[in-house]
Amino acid sequence: MIPPKFEYFAPTSLQEAVSLLAGYGEEAKLLAGGQSLLALMKLRLASPKYLIDLGRIGDLNYIREEGGRIAIGALTTYSQIKRSHLLQSKCALLPQTATWVGDVQIRNRGTLGGSLAHADPAGDMPAAILALDAELKAVGPQGQRWIQAEEFFLTTFTTALAPDEILTEIRVPVLNGQKTAYLKSAPRPSDFAVVGVAVRLQAGQNGTCEEIAIGITGVTDRAYRAKGVEKALKGKKLEPQAVQEAASTVTQGVEVNENIHASRNLRAHLARLFVARAIQAAR
Ligand SMILES: Cc1cc2nc3c(=O)[nH]c(=O)nc-3n(C[C@H](O)[C@H](O)[C@H](O)COP(=O)(O)OP(=O)(O)OC[C@H]3O[C@@H](n4cnc5c(N)ncnc54)[C@H](O)[C@@H]3O)c2cc1C
């Protein structure tokens, strides 16, 4: 399929990209890795008149430690995240999660910023970003602001970014001794998640849960934090029975999706199962 005609811009600085986006407004779209947007354009589900390619803005692609946190440029690809020694040693949840995204071609082009801004309710990275309590930097004509991960995902394909803002950086913590895991249930390994669960866990020597954060994807209209499960486990011993009981609350208060891949009941069942498994995997 061929997309409708559009005018193409390739700014070389963030300032230039911000000006173009402000100038063309809602008729313009930012292009990062193109792994979602180009498919939507070819299917004619999106037909922006102006395409602003972020790919030539070199200073949006980095992974570095800064002030006790790790800063990741929005244009950093899944493959770069997967291979990063800094992330593997200090924030392994991101490489663990990136490994599960699509196949190698998608991971070589798709970007962390694009994945988060796109806010696919079955995208993998949003679950990890939530479990990490990440902070996201948005830059627009009014300047810059930071958005907490929990406030970022609003609903399907909708985030807290204003139409004239560009997501430029994601900051995640250095995980001193905390354990992590990402598990995903999908029809095939390269498919979107039916259910995806990201866990960050601080367990005491006697197996007590000192701190836990759980990000869920694939289950409802957006990725969310399983606060009920976290509350039920904090301060408790992570015995299988306690974990299972806590995991059983994961879809409470959530409208569970239903589609050709899983009925509502199956998806809720998988969510409970994968929460329990991901907690044990993190331990
Ligand atoms: C065959 C296939 C399989 C896939 N499998 C998976 C999978 O298993 N798991 C998964 O999570 N994803 C999967 N994806 C989607 C993939 O992860 C996309 O790369 C990702 O969703 C979008 O990132 P991108 O960099 O390609 O963004 P683009 O496609 O370029 O852009 C996506 C949207 O985000 C906006 N945007 C991009 N960057 C920014 C920015 N910095 N600031 C503000 N807005 C921005 C764009 O305007 C656009 O609306 C798959 C895609 C394909 C084609």
Contacts of 143 (CB under 8 A, 6+ apart): none
pLDDT for position 2: 87
Q: CA-CA distance, 63 to 46, in Å (whole number)?
A: 31
Whether 254 maps to a domain, the answer reads yes
**Residue to substitute in 9, 18, 20, 35 for testing ligand 1 pocket (most ligand atoms within 8 angstroms of CB):** 35
Count: domains in the chain? 3
- CB of residue 29 inside a 6 A radius of ligand 1: yes
Out of 173, 206, 230, pick the residue that ends a domain.
173
Whether 196 maps to a domain, the answer reads yes
- CB of residue 77 inside a 6 A radius of ligand 1: no
Q: CA-CA distance, 98 to 128, in Å (whole number)?
A: 9
CATH number for the domain spanning 154: value is: 3.30.465.10
pLDDT for position 107: 97
**Residue to substitute in 36, 40, 164, 166 for testing ligand 1 pocket (most ligand atoms within 8 angstroms of CB):** 36
Ligand 1 centroid to residue 45 C-alpha, Å: 15
CATH number for the domain spanning 211: value is: 3.30.390.50
Which alpha helices (DSSP H) does the chain contain, by range? 14-24, 37-42, 78-83, 85-90, 93-98, 104-109, 112-118, 125-131, 149-152, 227-233, 240-247, 264-282
Distances (CA, A) of 239 to 188, 215, 253: 31, 21, 25
Q: Quick one: which atom of ligand 1 is closest to the CA of 77?
A: 25
The two structure tokens encoding residue 192? 């979107």
pLDDT for position 58: 84
- CB of residue 48 inside a 6 A radius of ligand 1: no
Expressed as residue numbers, the domain containing 133 is 60-173
Whether 234 maps to a domain, the answer reads yes
Kindly state whether residues 187 and 261 are assigned to the same domain: yes
Q: What is the pTM of this model?
A: 0.96
pLDDT for position 19: 97
pLDDT for position 1: 77
Whether 1 maps to a domain, the answer reads no
Question: Which residue, 237, 172, 176, 221, is CA-closest to 198?
Answer: 172
Whether 32 maps to a domain, the answer reads yes
Q: pLDDT tens track of the chain, all 283 residues?
A: 788 899 999 999 999 999 999 999 889 999 999 999 999 999 999 999 999 999 999 899 999 999 899 999 999 999 999 999 999 999 999 999 999 999 999 999 999 999 999 999 999 999 999 999 999 999 999 999 999 999 999 999 999 999 999 999 999 999 988 999 999 999 987 899 999 999 999 999 888 999 999 999 999 999 999 999 999 999 999 999 999 999 999 999 999 999 999 999 999 999 999 999 999 999 9
